[in-house]
Amino acid sequence: MKYLIVLLAMLTGISLSQSPTGDASTKATCSAANTGTITTLTINCSAMSKERAEDMVRLMNRILSKQIDPKEVYKQLDQIQSSLVSIGDTLNPLAKASPSQMALINDSQRLALSCSNFVQNWNIDFTKSQQAALSALQPLQRGQPSAPIDWNEIIIQVDRKKADEYNKTIATKIQRAASQVLAELPQKEATQYRSVRLLQISAVKRMADYSEIVGGLTYIYDQYNDPDIVAKPNPVLLASLKSLRQECLKFQQDWQSEYNKTAGVGTQTQASVYSSPITLKNTFDTERSIEFEKAVEPELIVWRTKVLSRDPSLNSHIDYKNVSSALDAGRICMDVMNTGNGYRAKVIDDLHKGPNR
């Protein structure tokens, strides 16, 4: 009977204790005195409203007079408890997750946001500086005396020189690598690959053409390195593609440097303004890449290592290092979000299965 009274008190919002200690205004107390075969119950109802106390007494009287089976009361309590648990799991599927699991899940959201903010600021800062540089360039483009240099002629000369150099040093390597990858890619991806302007190596006449080549090479590398497309890529070819991509990026930087040096025959201001759009991009990418490696990358790597130690299948093969552009950093941000969502889904799935399934 003592336990039944406790359960009844739970239904009516009462806190019971064996002795009337504590604040009588916040606790209802219960004491039992055994006198032979009769048990006397004394209940202090000061902690509940008069209406609630009367409801409780009426319910107790119905039980004591056998108008209600006590087992039915217990059964209803079990049903209520089960419903509450079910509702709780629906509203918060991670309610039973361990602290370490929740830490990884919460970190994924925090790190993805931090990474995205970093990339957003990266692009905002570059855009602001580029706009300022282009504004300074406008007077020079209008042919004022402070800009006696024939900029178009400089561009033509440098492009011609670097295009010849490209054909002699890199074009054949790209052609060979392209042919090898074409032979190994599935037919669908190989068709998409041909649409990339990578095989037209002889068409390179200016930096914009060459930039398309580098972009195409990056696309092919990502395709060949995707396990969903190529299950077992040739490790030698994969390493060769990666090395070739780095060589192409280095050549692109040298090409830009030629512009800067040639433009330097004018004033230093003219040289800076002339080359501002691409030079600014290179400068911002270099500076922000270093910042990313120091401020963001270490924590991302530690977090992903912990996640992959629990579920290696979440590995996406995205390189968290060697960040050279906002695009690279953006891919990492997206990977953090996707990996975090994947881990969260796995935790919820495991909780639903239960320990004995």
Q: How far apart are the first and last CA of the chain?
A: 38
| Residue 63 and residue 182 in one domain | no
Residue 214 and residue 198: Cα distance in Å, rounded?
8
| Residue 329 and residue 232 in one domain | yes
Q: What pLDDT was estimated at residue 306? A: 92
Condensed to tens digits (0 to 9), the pLDDT of residues 176-233 reads: 887 888 777 776 666 666 555 555 666 678 887 788 778 878 877 887 888 888 888 8
Q: What pLDDT was estimated at residue 327? A: 85
Q: What pLDDT was estimated at residue 90? A: 55
Q: What pLDDT was estimated at residue 280? A: 67
| Residue 323 and residue 179 in one domain | yes
Q: Locate 199 and state its tokens.
A: 């095989």
The secondary structure of 150-200 as a DSSP string is -HHHHHHHHHHHHHHHHHHHTHHHHHHHHHHHHHHS-HHHHHHHHHSTTS-
Three-state secondary-structure class, residue 20: coil
Domain end position, chosen among 54, 71, 91: 91
Domain end position, chosen among 56, 91, 126: 91
H/E stretch holding 2: helix 2-12
Structural domain range at position 12: 2-91
Nearest of 14, 3, 152 to residue 73 by alpha carbon: 3
Handedness of CA 144, 149, 153, 157 (dihedral sign): negative
H/E stretch holding 304: helix 297-310
Is 357 inside a domain boundary?
Answer: no
| Residue 87 and residue 104 in one domain | no
pLDDT in tens, the chain (357 residues): 444 554 455 444 444 444 444 443 334 444 545 555 555 555 555 555 666 677 777 777 777 777 777 777 767 666 655 555 555 555 577 778 888 888 888 898 899 889 888 988 888 887 777 776 666 556 555 554 444 455 566 677 888 888 888 888 888 888 888 788 877 777 666 666 655 555 566 667 888 778 877 887 887 788 788 888 888 888 888 888 888 888 888 888 888 877 777 655 444 444 444 455 566 677 778 888 888 988 889 999 999 999 999 988 888 888 888 888 888 888 898 899 889 888 988 888 888 776 543
Is 161 inside a domain boundary?
Answer: yes
Q: What pLDDT was estimated at residue 158? A: 82
Q: What pLDDT was estimated at residue 37? A: 56
Q: What pLDDT was estimated at residue 13? A: 46
Q: What pLDDT was estimated at residue 301? A: 92
Q: Locate 38 and state its tokens.
A: 């009769």
Q: What pLDDT was estimated at residue 214? A: 82
Which residues share a beta bridge with 31?
42
Condensed to tens digits (0 to 9), the pLDDT of residues 70-94 reads: 777 767 666 655 555 555 555 577 7
The structure tokens 């039980």 sit at 63
Q: What pLDDT was estimated at residue 299? A: 92
Q: What pLDDT was estimated at residue 300? A: 92
| Residue 85 and residue 114 in one domain | no
| Residue 188 and residue 289 in one domain | yes
Q: What pLDDT was estimated at residue 69? A: 77
Domains in the chain, number:
2
